[in-house]
Amino acid sequence: MSKKILFSMDIDWSSEDVIESALMFFNEMNIPCLLFQTHDSKMIGKEKSRLFSHELHPNFCENSEHGQSTDDVFKTINPIYHIGQSIRAHKYYMPDDAIEKIITDGYKYTINHYTNLEYHQPFTIKQTITELNTFFEDGYYLKNEHPFDVSFVIDKMQKEGLYVFNLHPIHIAFNEAIYDVTRRLKDTMTREQYRNIDKDFINLNINTGYGIRTFMIDLIDEFRKLGYRFIGIDEVNQ
């Protein structure tokens, strides 16, 4: 068994220009990415690269705009184009009746368990669906003030198996180095303003030094040197 890397990205209501910047990153890196969508995006819709797979990112939390019940959430989000093979819930929270629903709908994988840089083998839920676990998340990495040191991450990847990385367009677009930067954006902008951040605003506020985007470039380069394999969701069991 080798070390396999599955990149994913939670779209989280990002603007079209923010999404475009994040998609460009994966195109430039030439690695697959699993897109978990909270909403319809024209930018994602017109992206023709085979690097990207499309799935759903429903919000089952209190006061969710997707709906107040599990049925309402799925009614809201199911019309978005998706494969229906894997799913990650917003904030990793998926209630039991939602799990029953996706099992009925034929999903194979959930990715709702965040391990905070610890390797956990995939495990079975309700004897049917497989939880793949999320090893790395950019937001938590920044919030915990972990170092932008490639060896810090590599040293935690000693075991053979699958490692899921979860990124967010907003962090990648702004090359965030400090968690509070984009947190302040969300807190000081209206919902409409946040969801319409444009290229001019990105260019004015982007971190031009070393940040999460440049760190990911160095980390991906090291993965390649070490012979780690970048996979899509269809290759999890290969």
Instruction: Write down the mean pLDDT value for the chain.
Output: 96
What are the domain boundaries of the chain?
3-235
**Tens digit of each residue's pLDDT (9 = 90 or more) over 112-135:** 999 999 999 999 999 999 999 999
Give the per-residue pLDDT at 48.
87
**pLDDT 10s digits, 183-207:** 888 889 999 999 999 999 999 999 9
pLDDT at position 92 is 97
DSSP track, 115-164: -SS-----EEETTTEEE--B-EEHHHHHHTT--S-HHHHHTT--SSEEEE
CA distances from 54 to 40, 110, 122, 139 (A): 11, 14, 21, 21
Q: What pLDDT is recorded for position 186?
A: 84
Q: Position 126: which residue type?
A: K
Separation between Cα atoms, residue 126 and residue 98, nearest integer Å: 12
Percent of the chain scored above 70 by pLDDT? Answer: 100
Name the residue among 211, 115, 128 with its Cα closest to residue 163.
Answer: 115
Whole-number pLDDT of residue 1: 60
Positions of the chain with pLDDT lower than 50, given as ranges? none
pTM listed for this prediction: 0.96
Q: Is the Cα dihedral 128, 132, 137, 143 positive or negative?
A: positive
pLDDT tens string 167-185: 999 999 999 999 988 888 8
Could you tell me which of 76, 77, 207 has the C-alpha nearest to residue 148? 207
3-235 falls under which CATH superfamily? Glycoside hydrolase/deacetylase (3.20.20.370)
Give the C-alpha separation, 219 to 157, whole Å: 12
